[in-house]
Structure 1
Amino acid sequence: MNSSLSSHRCVALLVAAPASGQGKTTVTAALACWHTRQGRRVRVFKCGPDFLDPYWHQLASGATVHNLDGWMVGMDEVRARLSAAAAEADVILIEGVMGLFDGSPTAADLAVQLGIPVLLVVDASAMAGSFGALVLGMQQYQPDVPWAGVLANRVGSSMHAQMLQNSLRDPALWLGAVQRMGSGKDAQLLPERHLGLVAAHELPDAMARLNAAADALAETPLGQMDWTDWQRWSVEFSVPADGALTPPEPWLQGRTVAVASDAAFSFIYPANLDCLHAMGASLAFFSPLAGERLPVCDAVWLPGGYPELHADKLMANVALQADLLAHVQAGKPVWAECGGMLALGHGIADAQGEHSPMWGIVPGTAQMQPRLAGLGMQQCALQAGVLRGHTFHYSRFVCQAPEVARTSRANQRVQPDKGEAVYQYGSVYASYFHAWFPSHPRAIAALLGAETVQWDEPVPSA
C-alpha cells in the first residue's frame, strides 16, 4: 500500500444530473455563492472539458476553478488538486459533465474513486411520480456510487414539490425543490448560446443572478441545513507518495508568450497558464477587442472563444493585425486554437451565408453550422509527444495550409477522415483542437518555439 504524501478532510459534493440542461451549473454556482455568503472558503471544480461554466463558479466562490477528468487531466493531477484544495477550503463542490453516467470515464467513476457523495439535480418541470422512478434508476444503475441526495429543479409549485417528494422510495434522499424562475422552456437564470452558457464576465448583472439563485437555494432543506449537518459529507483527500506530480523542465525559460484574453479569446484553462509558468515562460496578456497591440514577445497563443461574435471589433484593430503579420513573417511561433484559428483566417460566414472578414494571415475560411461540427475528447500526436485535449465547435474551416498532424479519439489510432487537422502555415500552428498543456508540456514548448523538436520529421500516429 502506498503511503500518503498528504491527506486532508473537507466537505465535498459532486453535483450531477441525468442529462445536460438540468440546471447543475446553476445549482453548483448557487451553492458556492450561498456557502461563500456564510463566510466559508469554497473551492469549485468542473468535470470534463469546459471553459464557460467555470467563469460562473469563479465568480461565485472567488477562487480559481480547475477542470477534473480521469483521462484528459489524469487521476494523479485530479487527486493532487483536490488534496491541495481540501487543505485550505471548508467546502469542495464539483460539477459533473453531461449526465452522471455519460462519457468515459464518467462523473460517477470519479465519485466512486474519490468517495465523493453525489447531489443529483433533476429538471422536474414536466414530471410527477416518474421523478421517483428516475431517481431510483439512477441509484441502482451503479450501486457503488455514494449518494448525498436529490434536488428537484424548475418546480412549478409547493404542491408539485410535494408530489415529487412523495414519489421517492427513499425519503431521506429529498433535499428540496428549487422553484422555476421565469417561464418557457429556458426558464433559468444563466443564459445560453451556441457553445454553452454565456460567461459570467460578459453580463453586468452576473452577481445579481448568482445571488438570486443562492436565495432560491436557501429556501430548500439543503439550504437550511446547519453546518454540523454538512459534515456528513466530509471526504478525505490524499495523494499517494508515487502520485506526486513532477514539474516540467524550464523549456520556455527566458521566453515571453503573448496570450490573447478577452470575450473573443476566453477559452483558457487556468492549468494551461500554470503549465506555461512552470516551464519558465513570462506571460503577456493582451485584448484584441480593447484595441491593444501585440506585446513584445517570442511566441503567441490565440485561445478559442467567440471571434464570430466580435468580427467588426477584431477587424477594426488594424495595428494588431499588422503586428501579428510581422510576427509571423519574422518566423516567430503562433499556436492558434479553434476561435484563434478562425480569427487568423480570411473570414467567417454565418449560418445565413453573410461573410465577415478576419485577419487574413492563414489561408482558410470558416462557415458557421447550425449543429455541432466537432465534439469529444481528442489526442494529438506531435513529434514531441502526444497531447490530450478536446474539440467542440459549430463551424467548419476550409484551409489551404498543409496538415502536419490529425487528432484522434482517446486511445484510438489516427484516421484520415476523422479528428481535427493541425495546420502549419509558416510559423503558425492552428487547429480546432483545444490542448490540455500539462498532458505533455514538452509538446507545448515545441509549439511555442522552444529548441526541443525538429518539425521536419514525420509526425507519429497515436
Structure 2
Amino acid sequence: MSAASGFCPVVLVAAPASGQGKTTVASALVRLHQRAGRRVRAFKCGPDFLDPFWLSLASGAPVHSLDLWMNGEADCAQRLQQAALSSDLVVVEGVMGLFDGQPSAADLARRFGLPVLAVIDASAMAGTFGALAFGLQHYQPDLPWLGVLANRVGSERHAQMLRDGLREPGRWLGALPRDAAWSLPERHLGLVSAHELPDALARLDAAADALAATPLGQRDLADAAQWPRWAGPGDVPAQAPVPPRLAGRRIAVARDAAFCFIYPSNLDTLRALGAELHFFSPLQGEPVPEADALWLPGGYPELHAPALSAASALRASLHAHVAAGRPVWAECGGMMALFDELVTVDGQVHAGWGLLPGRVQMQKRLAALGPQQWDTGAGVLRGHTFHYSRCETALHPIGRSQRPSQAGPTHEGEAIYALGPVKASYFHAWFASAPEAVARLFLPTEAA
C-alpha cells in the first residue's frame, strides 16, 4: 500500500484482561506478514517497555507507544497516520483489559476508528466465550469491531463449541492451542524481554505458523472486503517544532539488559533537541563516555546487581562525571543503581554506585503503578511509574510527580531527588510531552 493509494488496514489487538495472550497474537500477526515481505508497523497502547521488545522483534522496526493521555491525541494521530501511509498493515497492541484505564484501549479504538480484534483465553470456558465476546463488542457504543480469536484452546471440538456460542459466527477469526513452542515467559515486571531469549524469534515464528492456519491468518490484506481500509485519524494538527536547546551537547545513554527501559520516542526527542547520543553498557563495565550529560534509564539492576556492583571502572567514571558538575537524569532502575546499597528480594545486599545516600529494597508486592506527571517549572512532563522496590534515604525530595485524576484533583506521586548535578526518580518520563523540560534535565543549572 503506497502513500498515494491511501491508508492501509489497521487493527487493535485487545483482550478482556491481562495475561490472555495479546502480545503473542499481536506479535504473531506482525511476524506472519513481515516475513511474507509486507511492510508492517506495530504500536503499543499505553506506557510499556516490555511488550514492545516482542513487537519490535516481529516487525524489525521501533515500536512507539500510543496513549491518549501520555502522548496526547495529536501525537497519536500523527504517528498512526505516518505509519498507515507507508505500510501494508498497522497492528496496535492494547493494554490490560479493553476497557481498563483512563484512557483505555477502547478509547483509542473509538477515537481513531481502529477495528478491535479480541483475544480471549478460552482454556476454561465453552458457552461463556460467546457471552464475553458479545459483551466486549457491545459494552460501549460505536466500538469498531473486527472479530474474536480464542487462545489456549484444548482441541478442535473445543474450538467448535466456542464458535457455536458466538451470536455472529462471521466474527470468528480462529483458535490457537496452548503450546510451549510459542509461550512467552514472565517475571515481576511483565514479559521477559525478547533479547534475553536466544530462541525468541523461533517462538514468534511458531506462533505465526499457528496463526497462518486460522481465518485471521488467511485473510488477504489486498482484499478490502476481508481487511477494510482504515479511514484515517481526521485532521492531524502539525506538531510544534522542537527548538535545538541541546545542540552541540553529547549525552551518554546507558543501554543494555540492565538498563533497557527506553522509549524510542525519547531518543527521537533528544536528537530533535540537537543532542548527540553515545550509548554504553554498564553491565559490561564500560565507563561513562566523555559527555556533557548522562541518562540512566530504567531496567533491571536487581537482576544484574553482582556485575554492576563489581564494575569499579564504571563507578569511578560516574563519580568523575558528577564531580565535574555534569548533569545526570536517572529513572527508576537507573536511580536504584545510584544508591549506596541495593537489597534483593531474598535479602542479599549489593553495593550500589554511591552517588545517592541510602538503600533500595526490592519487595514481592507492587509498590506503584500508573500514569504520572511532573511539573518541572519549565513544562509538565507526562509519563508513568511501575516498580517493585522502595528507597530508604535521608534525601528530601525537591518535588513530586502527581497522579492525574479525571474525577478530581491530582494526587501525590513519586519523589524527585536531587544531589549536586544528579536528578533522580522512579518516574519514567515521556520526553516528547515537554521537550523544554527535558532539555533542562540535561543542561547544567547555569545554562538551563
User: With structure 1 as the length reference, what TM-score do the two structures score?
Assistant: 0.93
Q: Does 1:236 align with 2:234?
A: no
The alignment yields a C-alpha RMSD, in angstroms, of: 1.8
1:103 to partner: Cα distance = 0.6
What's the CA shift string for 1:193-235, capped at 9, x where partnerless? 1111111111111110110110111111111223344653310
Tell me, in whole angstroms, the C-alpha distance in 2 between the residues paired with 1:239 and 1:431. Answer: 37
2:432 alignment counterpart: 438
- 1:399-414 aligned within 5 A: 399-411=393-405, 413=409
1:11 aligns with 2:36: no
Name the counterpart of 1:144.
Answer: 142
Aligned counterpart in structure 2 of residue 54 of structure 1, from 52, 55, 68: 52
Are residues 1:256 and 2:250 paired? yes
Q: Is the 8 A contact 2:182 2:206 kept in 1?
A: no
- Post-superposition shift, 1:402? 2.4
Partner residue, 2:24: 26
Task: Show the counterpart of 2:301.
Answer: 307
- In structure 2, how many angstroms separate the alpha carbons of the residues matched to 1:280 and 1:421? 29
Residue in 2 aligned with 1:273?
267
Matched, 1:290 2:284: yes
Partner of 2:125: 127
In structure 1, C-alpha distance between the alignment counterparts of 2:128 and 2:420, rounded to whole Å: 59
Partner letter of residue 121 of structure 1? V
Name the TM-score, length of structure 2 as normaliser.
0.96
CA contact (8 A) 2:327 2:421 kept: yes
Measured in 2, the distance between the counterparts of 1:25 and 1:428 equals 36
The Cα of 1:413 is off from its aligned counterpart by: 5.0
Which has the larger displacement, 10-19 or 309-318?
Answer: 309-318
Distance in 1, matches of 2:446 and 2:135, equals 52
Letter in 2 for 1:65: V
Task: Measure how far apart 1:439 and its partner are.
Answer: 0.4
1:366 equivalent in structure 2: 360
| Percent identity of equivalent pairs | 60
Secondary structure in 1 aligned to 2:130? helix
Alignment CA distance shift 1:232-1:268 (3 Å): same
Structure 2 Cα separation of the partners of residues 123 and 260 of structure 1: 38
Deviation of 1:8 (Å): 3.8
- Give the C-alpha shift of residue 251 in structure 1: 0.7
On the 8 A contact 1:384/1:452 being kept in 2, the answer is no
Which amino acid is 1:357 matched to? A
Aligned-partner residue type, residue 135 of structure 1 = A
Conserved? CA contact 1:7–1:83, under 8 Å? no
Larger deviation, residues 187-196 vs 400-409:
187-196
CA contact (8 A) 2:325 2:444 kept: no
Specify the SS of the correspondent of 2:262.
coil
| Structure 1 residue ranges without an equivalent (≥5) | 1-5, 455-462
Secondary structure at the residue paired with 1:289? helix
For this pair of structures, how many residues does the alignment match? 443
Tell me the residue number matched to 1:189: 183
Correspondence for 2:97: 99
Give 2:167's match in structure 1, choosing from 152, 156, 169.
Answer: 169
Residues 182 and 207 of structure 2 are in contact (CA less than 8 Å); yes or no, is this contact kept in structure 1?
Answer: no
Distance in 1, matches of 2:88 and 2:274, equals 32
Amino acid in structure 2 at the alignment position of 1:298? D
Deviations 1:335-367 (A, max 9, x none): 000000001111211222221221111112111
| Distance in 1 between residues matched to 2:189 and 2:447, nearest whole Å | 34
Task: Look up the match of 1:214.
Answer: 208
Deviation digits for residues 119-177 of structure 1, max 9, x if unmatched? Answer: 00000001001001111111221121010000000001111101100010111110000
1:7–1:238 Cα contact (<8 Å) kept: no
Query: For 1:239 and 1:132, how far apart are their aligned partners in 2?
Result: 33
Runs of 4+ aligned residues of structure 1 deviating over 4 Å after TM superposition are 411-415, 450-454
1:116, distance to aligned residue in structure 2 (A): 1.1
Distance, in Å, in 2 between the alignment partners of 1:69 and 1:240 is 18
Task: Find the counterpart in structure 2 of residue 459 from structure 1.
Answer: none
Q: Is the 8 A contact 1:148 1:173 kept in 2?
A: yes
Distance 1:452 1:122, change over 3 A: farther
Q: Secondary structure at the match of 2:284?
A: coil
User: Which runs of no fewer than 5 residues in structure 2 stay unpaired?
Assistant: none
Secondary structure of the residue aligned to 1:419 is: strand
